[in-house]
Chain A
Amino acid sequence: MTEDEKKNQSVYGDSPGERKIARHTLSILVDNEPGVLSRIIGLFSGRGYNIDSLTVAEVSEKLNQSRITVVITGTPDVIEQIINLLARLVPVHKVTDLTVLGPHIERDLVLIKIASNQDDLLKAYDIANEYGAIVTDKTEESYVFQYVDTTAKVDEFLEKITPFGMKNISRTGSAAMSCGKEKF
């Protein structure tokens, strides 16, 4: 059977083919209630899209609201559709595409444990110092560094320091906010 014949047998027509993809940071204000995260994640997983990173925490105890920051890579159509779908969820109050909105700040936090000989530990310490990472735990054989920066910077830091005895990494997703005086 040729490709054309196969196509004609489908009830659903053709796939639109490859499109350009881009990375977007979405900021979502939600009611802090059970199941809200699952509803949001379901929109992504239900369409087969992977989330690059996700950060959730309560931001207002009084209003019982949480902010979710999602970083996702997709085509413009997919991103538009996901934003519209997010916005119509009942517990979602506001969805902002910070990437489209303009200049904004994004920060990830990483904890990295280095355990090695004195020579490597010293080198690791120098790198951490150069990047402005903080020593959060220290023994004779190990360090735990804490470093906060953009995703790309954190990647770069980890790449440099990892060869000197990386034992464990724990990092958050991005927390994000727009620049200037606007609310988002």
Chain B
Amino acid sequence: MNTTALKQKSSNQTNKTKQLSGAEMVIEAMIEQGVDTIFGYPGGAVLPIYDALFQQNKIKHILCRHEQGAAHAAEGYARSTGKTGVILVTSGPGATNAVTGLTDALLDSIPLVCITGQVPTFLIGNDAFQEADTTGITRPCTKHNYLVKNVNDLPNIMHEAFHVAGTGRPGPVVIDLPKDIQFAEGDYIAKDKAITHMYKPQTDPDMAAIEQAVEMIANAKKPIFYTGGGVINAGPKASKDLTEFVKATGYPITSTLMGLGAFPAHDEQWLGMLGMHGTYEANWSMHDCDVMINIGARFDDRVTGDVTKFSPNSKKIHVDIDPSSINKIIHVDLPIIGDAGKTIEAMLNVWKDKGYKTNHEELNKWWSQIDEWRAVKCLSYKKSDTIIKPQYALERLNHFLQKNEKETGQESFITTEVGQHQMWAAQFLPFNKPNRWMTSGGLGTMGYGLPAAIGTQLGNPDGMVVDVAGEASILMNIQEMSTAVQYNLPVKIFILNNQWMGMVRQWQELLHGERYSQSYTESLPDFVKLAEAYGGVGLRATTPDELDGVIEQMLQTDKVTIVDVNVCQSENCFPMIPSGKAHNEMILAADAEKFDKKLV
């Protein structure tokens, strides 16, 4: 008997439709959707769902200490596992606290389903206790949202929400669920019976365009692959196929902040990240290329610099699953709407079937040009024997993470907060696999890293999860230390503590005449004692000599650990494309003195 027949038989034996309360439907639909972990915070308007959660054991609920933390934890979980993250919060302040996380997920295309409690339907619009217009507030910061007004609509909406969140360009979906609907009973609809709407984004690329693209790629003299988060979102096979395609062509490849890890960083064709704090070789190659192959990136303003001077002499291919990304910022010669994974696979097949070969003579010339740019060594910095340079701290962190990975097979996962440390992490930590790098790219949300690390650790219990943090950002969601302690999550928080909001200070130094308005983080806590107060481990390094020992100690702890690395206060993040400048106008650390005199 096949499985369909089995299912039919079992459904004939029981009632045709299962009667469940709204709260039970939520749980049942989640189980059917393969959810095993959710993040949330209880409150009056979601108590029926928390009651239903209490009476089952298939879904594990992680109690975060703030709804923003719950949302970022779900993001970290989603990004490191490829699954949809789920959040459960109450009405009013519960929902509004989650808004930053939802917006973050929207800008970085992370699949989330967020269930918000709501006051009973008959009180909506009455300024009831803990009432907020959640669908109104979240409309611009979600991919889609629902207000459920009839319990019989709920099962379909639950299934459709997961479909919408994870299909096409992923994103956050909110289901606003009034309390009376959670109590009401109705007919449950199983996942395979649910009508998941008309939402059918185009994911199969146009084959004629693929053929044309591959021909353009094959005939290129100065090509570059420019890939983004779309490749990561398309699943691990997309990254594997991308690597195979790039290796087959022998072309250089760069990636956005969101796309790191799709192509292995140890490979010689890898140019490093591009953009405002990208490498010299990546940005110059983008500027001078003749064919640009953009796969799953969206020409973000941190990547393009001045759009009027952006890669002026290239033909541009743009692969994106979202038609509204095409020609939004940069006009392209060949747009392809489709899933990055399917598109790369199709391109690779055409490349192989037609027996395309690269023009080695031209390619060698291009590579020798790139090697000249590489010789600039744009990431070099002045080492010090007395002060820990933040770059040096990350180099040592990387050394010990690699060593740990080799010796124990434990894979490393990096999350970050937002600021200088984030850019240094992107520059100095190599990523060789997708889903190992969780950072707030589009929204730039300070306070992202710790909750994201918690979600990552839950999704990857055997992984070594490190949150590379700044002392200012970490304080924005420091309460999640409690969550890490409660669930025995040995997350490592590696604070590059320079006592400044580093990126703000850097801009004030370079662009605002060294007027450091409100960017010094005064009255900092003692991070070692803070970690201990929460029940974790606190460590500190103040000189380069202490650093290695502290990192080794950090890797050995089995509890949440804060490492307070006191780094050079005046260090700036270079290279850098000043705003309004082009890729070939980027400045290096050595130019910095000239630079600030020129502009201020």
Q: Which A residues contact B (CB, under 8 angstroms)?
A: 5, 7-14, 16, 31, 34-35, 38-39, 42, 46, 77, 80-81, 84-85, 87-90, 93
Could you show 15 A-B contacts with beta carbons less than 8 Å apart?
A9-B511, A9-B579, A10-B580, A12-B301, A13-B307, A13-B580, A14-B308, A16-B308, A38-B136, A42-B139, A46-B140, A84-B326, A88-B323, A88-B324, A93-B198
Task: Identify the closest chain A residue to B149 (Cβ).
Answer: A34
Give which listed residue, B135, B201, B324, B507, contacts A85 with CB less than 8 A: B324
Contact indicator B579/A13 (Cβ below 8 Å): yes
- In the docked arrangement, what's the CA distance between A150 and B599, Å? 55
5 tightest A-B CB contacts, nearest first? A84-B324, A90-B144, A13-B580, A84-B323, A85-B324
Residues of B within 8 A of A81 (CB): 324, 327-328
Residues of A within 8 A of B201 (CB): 88
Known: A90-B144, A90-B199. A13 touches B305 (CB 8 A): yes
B319 to chain A, nearest CB (A): 15
Asked whether B357 is an interface residue with its Cβ less than 8 Å from the other chain, the reply is no
Asked whether B306 is an interface residue with its Cβ less than 8 Å from the other chain, the reply is yes
Contact indicator B140/A8 (Cβ below 8 Å): no
Q: Which of B295-313 contact A (CB under 8 A)?
A: 301, 305-308
Known: A35-B147, A93-B198. A9 touches B323 (CB 8 A): no
Contact indicator A80/B327 (Cβ below 8 Å): yes
Residues of B within 8 A of A5 (CB): 599
Asked whether B578 is an interface residue with its Cβ less than 8 Å from the other chain, the reply is yes
Residues of A within 8 A of B144 (CB): 89-90
Asked whether B403 is an interface residue with its Cβ less than 8 Å from the other chain, the reply is no
Asked whether B20 is an interface residue with its Cβ less than 8 Å from the other chain, the reply is no
Q: Which of B163-222 contact A (CB under 8 A)?
A: 164, 168-169, 197-199, 201
- In the docked arrangement, what's the CA distance between A11 and B503, Å? 12
Asked whether B290 is an interface residue with its Cβ less than 8 Å from the other chain, the reply is no
Asked whether B24 is an interface residue with its Cβ less than 8 Å from the other chain, the reply is no
- In the docked arrangement, what's the CA distance between A88 and B320, Å? 13
Q: Which B residues contact A (CB, under 8 angstroms)?
A: 135-136, 139-140, 143-144, 147, 164, 168-169, 197-199, 201, 301, 305-308, 322-324, 326-328, 507, 511-512, 578-580, 599
Since A81-B328, A87-B324 are in contact, a sample of 10 more A-B pairs with Cβ atoms closer than 8 Å, ordered by chain A residue number, is: A8-B511, A13-B307, A13-B579, A13-B580, A16-B308, A81-B324, A88-B168, A88-B322, A89-B144, A90-B143
Contact indicator A14/B328 (Cβ below 8 Å): no
A73 to chain B, nearest CB (A): 19
Residues of A within 8 A of B512 (CB): 9
Contact indicator A13/B326 (Cβ below 8 Å): no
Known: A8-B511, A10-B579, A35-B135. A42 touches B324 (CB 8 A): no
- In the docked arrangement, what's the CA distance between A88 and B511, Å? 39
Give which listed residue, B139, B168, B198, B599, contacts A8 with CB less than 8 A: B599
Contact indicator A34/B579 (Cβ below 8 Å): no
- In the docked arrangement, what's the CA distance between A11 and B201, Å? 34
Most buried by B among A9, A85, A90, A93: A90
A107 to chain B, nearest CB (A): 29
Residues of A within 8 A of B599 (CB): 5, 8
Known: A35-B135, A38-B139, A42-B139. A13 touches B147 (CB 8 A): no
Residues of A within 8 A of B140 (CB): 42, 46
A3 to chain B, nearest CB (A): 12
Task: Identify the closest chain A residue to B136 (Cβ).
Answer: A38
Residues of B within 8 A of A8 (CB): 511, 578-580, 599
- In the docked arrangement, what's the CA distance between A89 and B198, Å? 11
Residues of B within 8 A of A11 (CB): 507, 579
Contact indicator B327/A77 (Cβ below 8 Å): yes
Task: Identify the closest chain B residue to A13 (Cβ).
Answer: B580
- In the docked arrangement, what's the CA distance between A46 and B578, Å? 28
- In the docked arrangement, what's the CA distance between A9 and B515, Å? 13
A71 to chain B, nearest CB (A): 21
Task: Identify the closest chain B residue to A86 (Cβ).
Answer: B324
Contact indicator A87/B579 (Cβ below 8 Å): no
Task: Identify the closest chain B residue to A4 (Cβ).
Answer: B580
B335 to chain A, nearest CB (A): 11
Task: Identify the closest chain A residue to B135 (Cβ).
Answer: A35
- In the docked arrangement, what's the CA distance between A49 and B195, Å? 35
A38 to chain B, nearest CB (A): 7
Task: Identify the closest chain B residue to A14 (Cβ).
Answer: B580
Contact indicator B328/A13 (Cβ below 8 Å): no
Residues of A within 8 A of B580 (CB): 7-8, 10, 13-14
Residues of A within 8 A of B147 (CB): 34-35
Most buried by B among A7, A9, A87: A9
Residues of B within 8 A of A88 (CB): 168-169, 201, 322-324
Task: Identify the closest chain B residue to A87 (Cβ).
Answer: B323
Residues of A within 8 A of B326 (CB): 84
